Structure 1
């Protein structure tokens, strides 16, 4: 056999995939060559046949299926194993691949560890088949040479055939999708059917217990019950099996041998052959075969049993690797809960069995604050504690899963009406609201819940999708909210997706415009500034209000690009706006989203805009929502301070609607508080809203901040605000947001 590493030809027209797989295989010790087309692959394979080919199905020109067929038509290349790697996971593509001659089909995306196991398996099969081919050729030469002694060699040839057939059958078990125990049961049955080895089809396979050499019986055949009890575990060095494990050599002992000191009730006048199973100097187990009487083994029998042990070792290693992969594929590594794949399978089985199922998706409120403020290590501990508490709801008809991040899901099978579903969700919330103790700290968490009910026979993916849609609505309603899916939500979700798609195009096609709402001095009604408000002039739907597309832009992360566009374009118009307002110290207010605030580069971006547009820094006011400012206080304050160092003014927008802490507010380098229109609109003499406004004005005065009242729509509101000392306001009483062309003169 060659000492060179196995060579693998990767064929894929996607450069990134090609390079990633090439790198991983090279790091695993394989010799790798690459081709980006079927034609190139054929030429390279003819010039230098590889040991194995990884072939992409969908390629321009000659696709993978045609490439595979042409490879298999050539005698020199037909035996090369071909594994398909494809993004298509449908049955039709798999059938086409196997009809073309493929030995395996791996859907993209795939786990590299799984791919490496499959590659190793198929290379092993190829090597064993080559060994069998060479061995068969050798036997044929022997037959030719010893034709005259055919009668004497018949028994030997029959035994050789049994060896080949048995080893081949054992190796073929690696291709079966069975568990380790199922595979070992089939392997033991195959071994015990070799008649010239033993006339008594009795035996067992032992596996090592953990990191020790203690043996535990994994599978057995035709052993008395008393023997099973006596030999369930065997310490290293004890009895024949233990000696084989200790000495790592084949051991043969009759019943009366001192080595065979452990009694085997029900087995009389017998001998044991015990063969150690090991790989890379690591003991994996012992194969024990019961014989009628002890006898010496000839060299070929010893070679055969050693070969059997090698194949068993490979099978054990492979099946344990597959079990580990299956565990990772169906469970969450951090929490140990089932994962999304398990939930989909559970839903598929439940719904296919004509049983309805209800899915509850949960998302922890404000979890990102803990992750950002206390670190991901603390966040992971909190997720584990949350999962541990959530797992208490596991039952025969309930599955508990972690979908990823801070999102979890529960599946409940059986008929559940809406009221019962809501009651279950509230029970979960109540349990989750109990304090979680992590690293000596107590955390009080709330969670939003989305509920969908899948009828019998429904699509599992649709059911989970509907729960996600309901969860999204619940999160918009605020912390601790519960939302039950309604088909109308799906229509809304579709509209949101279309809006998200159109948003990407709108940024490229310059479909956005800016309206400017004047800010006035309440005492004189003179325009002293304006707030820049973005509008979307959609080519089909017309002018779209911001409450329809801003949330979508925030959810899809496009708010950053949109916010930068507004900042740059509003500042470009600053000097003309100030001239039309006829105010020397005209203040331009521009909104900054929470996403913009969290990203690096905001300060340098603002500095660049100021330099290129010539806007005086002290006349640019950046407005940040209360929620965005409080999202991550430790990171927000330094960034706001750097903005203030540029000379820019800062304002807290929609004050009173978020969750500001007064203990933090005085630490923020804020110049202005903007009173939300919900308080201004509800003002009346001596009512609660008026007292809230009065309190905000007093607070601002103590902290040395300005105040701007939003949503002023009546003269009475303007008069009340002015009487309480509020000096600035904006609202429909003074002017609606105006296109640039209609702004001023006033």
Structure 2
């Protein structure tokens, strides 16, 4: 039993003074020493220990902790040794510091022993008992030396008894003893050590003893044994493993010292002990695991003494309650009371805890900052072996976090975390509810699917965080466009869905689609840059297009795909024909996979003609597909399919090889020696890393000269990564081939953009050529392309030329070459060979001189045309007539016209509209309109805009008309002189 600090034990019993700043450690030491017949004196700090050391009877042994606040163990030991009254008291350091240097320092300072924590009861008691006995022995010897020489025999006997007792103590402690004789290389283990390892006999040599040591520890043990420290220094190997006879490994701790030296100071004998620390090691591991659990667990833990004073808390406790460990320790958990529970609640808690040693339930506590927190609390009572209450352990979890997590999980199951819009599941559920209500009230429901066009470029250019921010802004804009009661959801990365419930008319969905496109079209801001986005929309209506969510979503998906095929930035309503198109697309895709193997593909060749000479200067290889099931399939239909499924790669390579071999054959026949073969590269082909090797192989295998091959690249092939595309173009140019930019004007082409690429030719897309003579916008684009090409020293070719007027228009603007039905459609190889053999050429007439005064009269009534022609022919003008504006544009494209006289009222377009286009296409012409009085307002507006020079009313005055036409020609001549002067 531990005595109170104020009491002194009986003088007849040994007194042990235990010093430790941790009450729990003092309690453990006291419990372990209860089996010894000693009086225990306890001190919780250094100053108290120094006082108790001088009290009578003085301690026979002091167990001194090293790490103590204020005055540590080293200072206490120094003070004890400095005091003559206490210097004789043996001191044992009892500490958690277990390094050899710490132990060595302690022993050198004067400690008689060094015991590390955690304590092993048997070893601890044995060592304490041993040192008490040693103290008593020393005291007894001192008394005998003081005047009891006559009792030498008795003292010798007592010494023998003491040695026997010491041996018994060592045996009881379980310590194994070893001796090593260096001269004979003989080692001896005592019985206890052999028994510890389950051996019947001791090993004989040092090498034999090493066989029992774990291979990983053997080197350092051998180093310590074969090279012992100087005399007085200790051989200490704190932890190593030795194998038991049954095969399992023991953790042991070894100590030793040199005992005998020869005349040169060389060690002759070392001896020492080995103790089994397996149990201690297991406790340490368990304590370490317990510490990890205690500190790492997400639940709060609070440990109190039997009086509910808090002893320790973990990090989770501090995080949840807001109290630090220093603020909590020493107080009771009552500091957390919230006031939400009455006295009866706590009485019931303690009644259950006292009866069952456990209570658990939900409780509301109050954090340090005053915030309430709901917890699930589990309190357990801790008792010792005797059943006495020692501690309480409280473990609680923050239910608010779990509730928030559960709410978050519930939210994520229905909503998109990025945009906070309903996700695919909730959108489908809302659609189901909308269909039920629509059916009940005989209303329509619309499903609208919106997908952002080419949004991948945003992430690649600006990074995913910017992309996420843009998606959030898109979601915000879309929400502003819908009615209350409608649903906006996010179905996937860039696809959004809309459910329009209780829709009265189809035009409501039409209007919403328009608003959505307009909302997306407003520029976005990305990293300080203005960014334009577009979207494609597909719409399906219930019950017309389906009456279930799956059907409506499927049909809306089909409509969305059609909107993308239509060029994007538009919307499409679903129609049954789309299903047929989808089925045809699937059938075509399946058939296309076998087209090469079945010899269904063919290469046709369309000639390219010079606008200077009219001669064929090249040919473009064009792919054609004729399938037994689908017949002749348009390239516009099957090429995108091949792009999507990757078949374009083998097909494109086949076209390249086939065309190169054919061109080589024509070169060998002398039919195409000055001609150049143009082959299209798809966007997917162009992105292949081995493209240059593929082209080089086609040239090598066919024998076609590199300068006879021209590869046509569309802008979509390199718009995603310009720098990489430029590098690939330079690789191709190194082969000696030519490069052409195809479909110019349909993308983002500009002078600064195209100038970075090593192109040799630019091809104007046929969409601009088709109405080039009558559409000022397309004419301006084509003209700009020609000017740009010439500024970059590139040749220029126009595709899709079908009329002489188109050819003359392009020639007049210095276009180099044309390709189209005007000269020849694409032909099979055999027919194209005949065309080459026939040396066919395009008739190229000289461009008309503008020396003659040319008048163009436009009127849809032939009798008026005749009357005006007769009236003005006597003036000596060259007169051209047209019965429609389209005919007039043909004339204007073929030859220069100085003055145009046009009727105002015509079926195709009015005279003012006709002249507005003419003003943009041929600004130097002088334009006169014949109109009735009812049209004066529109004519006046055209005059103010500069589209009309003058107007004459019907019926006209002949003399006035002739004079106005003469004046118009005089004005035209003055304009010519002025323009000529400006040019010079």
TM-score (norm 2): 0.44
Contact 1:277 1:313 in 2 (8 A): no
Q: Is 2:680 the partner of 1:591?
A: yes
1:343 paired to 2:431: no
Q: 1:262 to 1:379 in 2, by over 3 A?
A: closer
CA distance in 2, matches of 1:603, 1:618: 15
Partner of 1:549: 638
Q: 2:558 aligns with which of 449, 469, 492?
A: 469
Q: 1:568 to 1:313 in 2, by over 3 A?
A: farther
Written as runs of structure 1 = structure 2, the 5 A alignment for 1:600-615 is: 600-615=689-704
How has the CA–CA distance of structure 1 residues 214 and 353 changed in structure 2, closer, same or farther, with 3 Å as cutoff? Answer: farther
- Rate the CA distance shift 1:212–1:588 in 2: closer, same or farther, 3 A: farther
Q: Report the CA distance between 1:320 and its aligned residue.
A: 8.5
- Mapped contact 1:373–1:634 kept (Cα < 8 A): no
* Greater C-alpha Rg: 2
- Deviation of 1:336 after TM superposition, in Å, equals 4.1
**Separation (CA, whole Å) in 2 of partners of 1:638 and 1:576:** 32
From 271, 276, 280, the counterpart of 2:348? 271
- With over 3 angstroms needed to count, the CA separation of the structure-2 counterparts of 1:297 and 1:669, relative to structure 1, is closer
2:503 is paired with a residue of what secondary structure?
Answer: coil
Measure, in 1, the Cα distance between the counterparts of 2:323 and 2:767: 82
What is residue 487 of structure 2 aligned with on the other side?
Answer: 399
* Equivalent residues of 1:339, 1:401 under 8 A apart: yes
Matches within 5 A, 1:643-658: 643-658=732-747
Deviation at 1:668, TM superposition (A): 2.0
* Aligned residues of 1:527 and 1:583 also touching (Cα < 8 A): no
Q: Residue by residue, what CA displacement relative to the aligned partner does 1:303-359 show, whole Å, maximum 9, x if unpaired? A: xxxxxx99x989999998887666555444544433323322332343345555322
Shift, 1:401, TM fit: 2.4
User: 1:450–1:474: 8 Å Cα contact kept in structure 2?
Assistant: yes
3-state DSSP class of the match of 1:573?
Answer: helix
Residues 42-91 of structure 1: CA deviation (Å, up to 9, x unaligned) = xxxxxxxxxxxxxxxxxxxxxxxxxxxxxxxxxxxxxxxxxxxxxxxxxx
8 Å CA contact retained: 1:348, 1:459: yes
Q: Find the counterpart in structure 2 of residue 500 from structure 1.
A: 589
Matched, 1:729 2:818: yes
Indicate which of 389, 393, 408 corresponds to 2:496.
Answer: 408
| Cα distance, 1:709–1:567 mapped onto 2, change above 3 Å | same
> How many angstroms apart in 1 are the aligned matches of 2:522 and 2:781?
32
Which residue of 318, 330, 339 maps to 1:262? 339
Report the alpha carbon displacement of residue 705 of structure 1 after superposing the two structures with TM: 0.6
Q: Deviations over 1:87-112 (max 9, x none)?
A: xxxxxxxxxxxxxxxxxxxxxxxxxx
Q: Secondary structure at the match of 2:491?
A: strand
Aligned mate of 1:458, from 536, 547, 571: 547
Task: Report the Cα offset of residue 706 of structure 1.
Answer: 0.8
Partners in 2 of 1:427 and 1:713 — Cα distance? Answer: 40
Further displaced range: 465-474 or 331-340? 331-340
Instruction: Please tell me whether the aligned partners of residues 358 and 416 of structure 1 are also in contact (alpha carbons under 8 angstroms).
Output: no
Q: 1:522 to 1:237 in 2, by over 3 A?
A: closer
Is 1:712 aligned to 2:797, yes or no? Answer: no
Q: Which structure 1 residue ranges, 5 or more long, are not aligned?
A: 1-209, 216-234, 239-245, 279-283, 300-308
2:541 alignment partner, SS class: strand
1:359 and 2:447 aligned: yes
Instruction: Encode CA deviations 1:469-492: one digit per residue, 9 max, x unaligned.
Output: 222222233343122222222222
Q: Is the Cα–Cα contact under 8 Å of residues 364 and 446 in structure 1 kept in the other structure?
A: yes
d(CA) in 2 for partners of 1:348 and 1:534? Answer: 47
2:593 is paired with a residue whose SS is: helix
- Aligned counterpart in structure 2 of residue 435 of structure 1, from 523, 529, 535: 523
Query: Is 1:672 the equivalent of 2:761?
Result: yes
Q: How does 1:90-101 map to 2 (within 5 A)?
A: none
Aligned to 2:662: 573
The CA deviation at 1:744 is 1.2
The structure carrying a bigger helix percent of its residues is: 1
Instruction: Mark the CA change 1:288 to 1:211 in structure 2 (over 3 Å): closer, same or farther.
Output: closer
Decide whether aligned partners of structure 1 residues 522 and 438 sit closer, same or farther in structure 2, where only a CA change above 3 A counts: closer
| One of 713, 720, 723 as aligned partner of 1:624 | 713
1:610–1:616 contact (8 Å) kept in structure 2:
yes
* Cα shift at 1:704: 0.4
- Supply the distance in 2 between the matched residues of 1:649 and 1:347 (Cα, whole angstroms): 56
Displacement of 1:538 in angstroms is 0.6
Give how far 1:531 is off: 0.7
Contact 1:709-1:726 within 8 A present in 2 as well: yes
CA distance in 2, matches of 1:744, 1:269: 105
Q: Deviations over 1:16-36 (max 9, x none)?
A: xxxxxxxxxxxxxxxxxxxxx
Q: Give distance in 1, aligned partners of 2:599 and 2:462.
A: 41
Alignment equivalent of 1:639, drawn from 728, 731, 749: 728
The 1:316/1:730 distance shift into structure 2, 3 A limit, reads same
What are the Cα deviations for residues 256-300 of structure 1, in whole angstroms up to 9, with x where unaligned?
Answer: x9986836359589422652799xxxxx974469xxxx999999x
Partner of 2:560: helix, strand, or coil? helix
Count of residues in correspondence between the two structures = 492
User: Do the aligned partners of residues 213 and 659 (structure 1) sit closer, same or farther apart at CA in structure 2, a change above 3 Å counting?
Assistant: same
269 and 439 in structure 1: CA distance in 2 versus 1, 3 angstrom threshold: closer
Distance 1:635 1:277, change over 3 A: farther
Number of the residue aligned with 1:381: 469
Residue 696 in structure 1 maps to residue 785 in structure 2: yes
Question: Which digits, 9 at most, give the CA deviation of each residue in 1:422-467, with x for residues without a partner?
Answer: 2122222333333323333332322222222233982212211222
Distance 2:678 2:493 in 1: 36
Higher relative contact order (CA 8 A, sep 6+): 1
TM-superposed CA distance for 1:677, in Å, is: 2.5
Q: Is the contact between residue 678 and residue 712 of structure 2 (CA under 8 Å) also seen in structure 1?
A: yes
Instruction: Assess if the C-alpha contact under 8 Å between 2:376 and 2:397 holds in 1.
Output: no
CA RMSD of aligned residues (A): 4.4
Q: Secondary structure of 2:649's match? A: helix
SS for the counterpart of 1:397 is coil
Q: Give yes or no for contact 1:400–1:410 (8 Å, CA) kept in 2.
A: yes
Q: Which residue of 2 aligns with 1:17?
A: none
Question: Which 5+ residue runs of structure 2 have no aligned equivalent?
Answer: 1-314, 351-358, 364-372, 385-393, 837-984
Return the offset for 1:588.
0.8
Find out whether 1:521 has 2:610 as its counterpart.
yes
Which secondary structure does the structure 2 equivalent of 1:532 belong to?
Answer: strand
Provide the rounded CA distance (Å) in 1 between the counterparts of 2:657 and 2:795. 25
